[in-house]
Amino acid sequence: MPFLTRKSIATLLIAICALIIGAAALFYAKDKPKKDVSVPQPKAALTVSTEALVARSLPIALSANGTIAAWQEAIISSESEGLKLVEVKANVGDRVRKGQVLASFSGDRGRAEVAQANASLAEAEANALEAVGNAEKARTLQASGALSDQQINQYLTLAKTANARLEASRAALNVQQLRLTQTQLQAPDDGVISARTATVGAVVGSGAELFRMIRGGRLEWRAEATSVEVARIKPGDKATVVAASGARVEGRVRMVAPTVDPATRTALIYVDLPANAAVKAGMYAKGDFALGASDALTLQQQALVLRDGFTYAMRVEANNKVSQVKLQTGRRVGDAVEIIQGAKVGENYVSSGAAFLADGDTVKVVAAPPGQAAGKAK
């Protein structure tokens, strides 16, 4: 075997080293983990719960404003002339009964006039008794001719005149007794005293107003409705009235005004109200007329966001990204808001935290709390 040259030996060693290095590189390459080259997932901006747009029945209501007033107000005035008030027994706010004495006038002059009328009546009765007796005697003598026809007619005329004076005296006595009863000012009906001008010691003339009274204590709400709205309201409709004091009362339409004010183009709706201590005549009030119900698509109030004067909601897409959707809303009943335009049945919307999201954000969706889920649809 021929001897290898030095050059051949060097070449052989280099080849062996290359083989060893390649084998080692291949061995280490198998054991090294592969590098993850997948696209990174965006981080969720917020953890939210969602709700679906649902259909439910919402009441149809017509809003109006108006004034609370007395159903009927009675003016109680003096019927006596020139008598002095000696006692006032009622004040503003008192609830009174029909016939109850509200004030008393001095009755001295009245009692004196009644006594005088009684005396005049007694005199008239005596004169009438004498005249009737003379007339009866004259009739018995008519056949005998002891008295002329002229004399007999005179006796009969005197009897009729005496009877007429007797009736006049009785009428005068009745007048004086009536005037005496008028010294007691009485309530004409059940009700509540709303004003009082009566003052002890005052001498008032006939017809002077002394009290005002709300008949029966009944109040009504006089709501104003436009020419278009008034056609939708009819007697018997229910109305919910909220007074300026915050009191909330349920009433019923008694009457719709037969005419429309030509200046304002509005008509009055008269709504009977039940007794309520927090509701006073003269208060301004707003209210709603119940006109039935209709189906509507709704979202909860907390799912809506008000931005730049418009209403939006955050719709959750399939990739958990949110899209800002502009909505047109309508009726509101409790937390439910009617969606008129901008959303479709079955779409899911962020039910809480929508105000903290922007269009295109990614969210993490979790189940809604039991209380919230229960309140979505009824």
Q: Which domains does the chain have, with CATH numbers?
A: 47-58+294-374 (2.40.420.20), 63-71+216-293 (2.40.30.170), 74-98+188-215 (2.40.50.100), 107-182 (1.10.287)
Mean pLDDT of 253-262: 93
Task: Of 244, 241, 246, give the one whose Cα is nearest residue 270.
Answer: 241
Q: Residue 265 region, left (φ>0) first, then alpha (ψ -120 to 50), else beta? A: left
Q: Is residue 206 scored above 90 in pLDDT?
A: no
Mean pLDDT of 175-187: 86
The per-residue pLDDT for 210 is: 94
Positive/negative CA dihedral, 180, 182, 185, 190 = positive
The per-residue pLDDT for 1 is: 41
- CA 58 from centre of chain: 20
The string of pLDDT tens digits covering residues 125-138 is 888 888 888 888 87
The per-residue pLDDT for 96 is: 94
For residue 272, count CB atoms less than 10 angstroms from its CB and return exposed for 0-12, middle for 13-18, buried for 19 or more.
middle
331 half-sphere exposure, CB direction, 13 A CA radius: 17
Residue type, 259: T
- Beta strand pairing status for 219-226 and 54-70? antiparallel
Q: Is residue 283 scored above 60 in pLDDT?
A: yes
What is the share, in percent, of the chain residues with pLDDT greater than 70? 85
Q: Which of 23-27, 36-40, 209-213, 350-354 is the least confident region?
A: 36-40
The per-residue pLDDT for 136 is: 83
Tally helices (H) and strands (E) across the chain: 4, 22
Q: Is residue 57 scored above 60 in pLDDT?
A: yes
Positive/negative CA dihedral, 63, 69, 70, 74 = negative
Mean pLDDT of 35-59: 71
Residue type, 207: G
R_g of the chain computed on alpha carbons: 50
The per-residue pLDDT for 33 is: 52
- Beta strand pairing status for 219-226 and 266-273? antiparallel
String of DSSP letters for 204-249: E-TT-EEEEEEETT-EEEEEEEETTGGGG--TT-EEEEEETTS-EE
Q: What is the mean pLDDT of the chain?
A: 83
The per-residue pLDDT for 289 is: 92
What is the share, in percent, of the chain residues with pLDDT greater than 90? 28
The per-residue pLDDT for 37 is: 45
Confidence of residue 64 (pLDDT cuts 50, 70, 90): very high
Q: Which of 229-238, 300-309, 362-371 is the least confident region?
A: 362-371
> How many other C-beta atoms lie within 10 A of the C-beta of residue 102?
23
DSSP H stretches of helix in the chain: 6-31, 108-140, 149-181, 370-374
CA separation for the pair 295, 288 (Å, rounded): 19
Q: Which of 37-51, 106-120, 163-177 is the least confident region?
A: 37-51
Q: Is the pTM of this model over 0.75?
A: no
